[in-house]
Amino acid sequence: MVQAVPSFRQLIRNPVHFLAFGFGSGLSPKAPGTAGTLVALMLWPMLASLPLELYILIVAVASIGGFYLCGKTASDLGVHDHSGIVWDEIAGFWLAMTAMPVSWIWMLAGFLLFRLFDIWKPWPIGWLDKHVDGGYGIMLDDLVAGLFTWLILFLAMTFG
């Protein structure tokens, strides 16, 4: 199925679509998921400087709100999981980086691991991607990829 790609002008007219498309990063003609994750990576140091409780609240709001943002945008575009919808990558990456040290090595490790899980989709990520519909399906696989990434980073931080 050919995916309808909104223009940046169309995105900024609709705040739900603008957020779902990662502030426009989802319009990238190549690797929009990676572009969305890069947006999350650029915003992460600022978020990581917040108290942990506030960081967790922001990640929770981004994740819960993402069910609506992604579902509504997919429905409006008539495509189950439009490749330009990257809010799931943003929320998933922020989840992955919860309580991680702010340094280039941790940012790089988090970015690479998250992208690996998001692209590779080991069980249950791939199952969620294929079997859960709407905004929940769009978001859940990336949140689980974020949890997998967080677990590996946490183990590396604790025992490494």
Q: What is the pTM of this model?
A: 0.94
Q: Is 3 left (phi over 0), alpha (psi -120 to 50) or beta?
A: beta
Tokens 């069910």 belong to residue: 67
pLDDT digits (tens, 9 = 90+) for 33-72: 999 999 999 999 999 999 999 999 999 999 999 999 999 9
158: Cβ–Cβ under 8 A, 6 or more apart, which residues? Answer: none
Tell me the C-alpha distance between 111 and 46, whole Å: 16
pLDDT digits (tens, 9 = 90+) for 122-138: 999 999 999 999 999 99
Each domain of the chain, given as residue ranges in start order, spans 8-159
pLDDT digits (tens, 9 = 90+) for 61-114: 999 999 999 999 999 998 888 999 999 999 999 999 999 999 999 999 999 999
Tell me the C-alpha distance between 145 and 76, whole Å: 26
